[in-house]
Structure 1
Amino acid sequence: MTSIGFIGLGIMGSPMSVNLVRAGHTVRGFNRTPEKGAALAEAGGTVVASIAEAVAEADIVCIMVPDSPDVEAVMLGDGAVLQSVGPGTLVIDFSTIRPDVAVSIAAAARSRGVGFLDAPVSGGEAGAIDAALSIMVGGDPRDVDRGQTVFRAVGKTIVHVGDSGAGQTVKAANQLIVAANIQALAEAVVFLEAQGVELATALDVLGAGLAGSKVLEQKRRNILERGFAPGFRLRLHHKDLGIAIAAARAAGVVTPVAALTAQLVASAVGVGDGELDHSGLVRGVERLSGRRIDATPADA
């Protein structure tokens, strides 16, 4: 049994914290919106009123918040993690942030004798609920070994990909591939419908061939039913593509598909679809094609 402090109990963090309790760990969680801690409390964890309370007695601290400034605030701000834990504590950041920010936070943690791993995840809400996430981990191999008890409770594929920041770099590549895949699927779907082809049947055969993908498998129902309750919000994918493009530019790498896809995602966010699941990109293709879409999805 490990004592764990968990910061961030949203769509991903809540089921992850619950799975840690189910694995036998003691979990104290904090979220800026306290009601989001209901699932953790029901599972047997404890929801507290501050970061300091969540991490004060923790062996391992887990973070799952939206963006780089959020992680910086959680780690470095007043009453934050590095002010509240002692040497020897391990921090695992499951958030998706800029690689350079992960590197700088890791250095700040090391200066206080605290381990830090950047460990962004892929798999969406379904993967978090099923404890089947893919986790790409950057940091010291010794800290990766220490974190296995947590990783095994929330993930299925855990890979140490390199030093601090490497996890975030691999996640940026992941988000580029996923967004481009969803956009291509969206365009194919609108094309098929415009030609009068029965969509479910077409997706069956596409999914069985080289065009098949996890994206098609997991987003098929959303697209068929035009139901876009968020498993992963478009506004967060918008943020992630910004990270990927900035990191690629810094490395001198040209990414034209990423740039175009990022503009299409930005457009979706700009017209009000940011809270929808990223499969909602199909609505953008419909708009550009002059085809009818619901002005406000029922599950927005």
Structure 2
Amino acid sequence: MSTIAFIGLGIMGSPMAVNLAKAGHQVIGYNRSPKRTAPLVEAGGSPAESISAAVKDADVIAVMVPDSPDVEEVLVGEGGVFDNARDDALIIDFSSIRPDVSAALAKEAKRRGFRIIDAPVSGGETGAINASLSIMVGGDVADFDSAKPILDAVGKTVVHVGSNGSGQTVKAANQLIVAGNIQLLAEALVFLEAYRVDTDAAIKVLGGGLAGSTVLNQKAQMMLDRQFNPGFRIDLHHKDLGIFTSASREVGVVTPLGAALAQLMASVRENGDGGLDHSALLRGVERMSGRSPR
């Protein structure tokens, strides 16, 4: 069992840290809002008052924060991981950030004698709670092998996809597909409601055919109930689609549907729904259809 410092105990990070503690690891958690450490403490972990205090005795350092600047601050900022971690510590960045930033941070980590992998996840809050996340990993194969027992404690599908930054590239593609599924489901539901179809029955039969998907299983009822408590916020998906569109442009890949999805996500966000679950794309369809969101 390892001593793990877990930096970032939000919607995803908190249940992941809890599952690591339940798996028998010694987990030391840090979050800018100290109250977020409570579930980890209940699971047998311990809180830290700073990043430096969390990482100083850790074999493994896990990071789960919102965006590229946040990861940079955690790793290279004053009082951060690179200045305070043990030599040869293994750093696992579960955050979803720009692939180029991830690759640059990995280069600096290795220069300083650390091992590092990028390991963004998919599966939302439900997957984090159930330890059933899909984890796409970029980094050296030896570092992936070292991290595998940790990854297996929080994920169900754990795959090495290439060198540092590759995990972030695959995650960007994942976010495109998820956004597309949610948008199409939202449009279908508004269409069905307009025709006064029994939507519960419609979802049941759609889920049993080729239209069935994890998105339909997890998000359709939320949409029908207009309950958008965030498992994954619009704000974060907006950020991820920005990463995708920027990275696509850099390599000359044309993504017309991706560009449209990015705009639709941005519209919902600019209408004040950024803190809601990404299933709130439904509200954007309602607005465009002349209906007041419920």
TM (norm. structure 1) is: 0.97
Q: Which amino acid aligns with 2:258?
A: A
CA separation in 2, counterparts of 1:73 and 1:64?
12
CA separation in 1, counterparts of 2:248 and 2:278?
22
Listed as ranges, the gaps of 5+ residues in structure 1 are 295-300
CA separation in 1, counterparts of 2:220 and 2:182?
10
State the match for 1:298 in structure 2: none
State the match for 2:135 in structure 1: 135
Task: State the secondary structure of the residue aligned to 2:153.
Answer: helix
Aligned-residue identity in percent: 61
State the match for 2:248 in structure 1: 248
Listed as ranges, the gaps of 5+ residues in structure 2 are none
Q: Which amino acid aligns with 1:77?
A: G
Deviation at 1:88, TM superposition (A): 1.1
Task: State the secondary structure of the residue aligned to 2:196.
Answer: coil
Task: State the secondary structure of the residue aligned to 1:284.
Answer: helix
Q: Are 2:226 and 1:232 equivalent residues in the alignment? A: no
Instruction: Judge which range, 78-87 or 9-18, deviates more.
Output: 78-87
State the match for 1:165 in structure 2: 165
Deviation at 1:276, TM superposition (A): 0.5
Deviation at 1:292, TM superposition (A): 2.8
CA separation in 2, counterparts of 1:55 and 1:86?
8
8 Å CA contact retained: 2:57, 2:86? no
Q: Which amino acid aligns with 2:152?
A: R
State the match for 1:50 in structure 2: 50
CA root-mean-square deviation:
0.6
Deviation at 1:51, TM superposition (A): 0.2
Map residues 1-300 of structure 1 onto 2, 5 A cutoff: 1-294=1-294
Task: State the secondary structure of the residue aligned to 1:147.
Answer: helix
CA separation in 1, counterparts of 2:119 and 2:293?
37
CA separation in 2, counterparts of 1:47 and 1:257?
44
- CA distances 1:128-174 after superposition (whole Å, capped 9, x unpaired): 00000000000000000110121011000000000000000000000
Deviation at 1:12, TM superposition (A): 0.3
Deviation at 1:293, TM superposition (A): 1.9
Count of residues paired in the alignment:
294
Deviation at 1:224, TM superposition (A): 1.4
8 Å CA contact retained: 2:192, 2:199? yes
CA separation in 1, counterparts of 2:100 and 2:211?
34
- CA distances 1:4-33 after superposition (whole Å, capped 9, x unpaired): 000000000000000000000001010001
CA separation in 2, counterparts of 1:274 and 1:6?
26
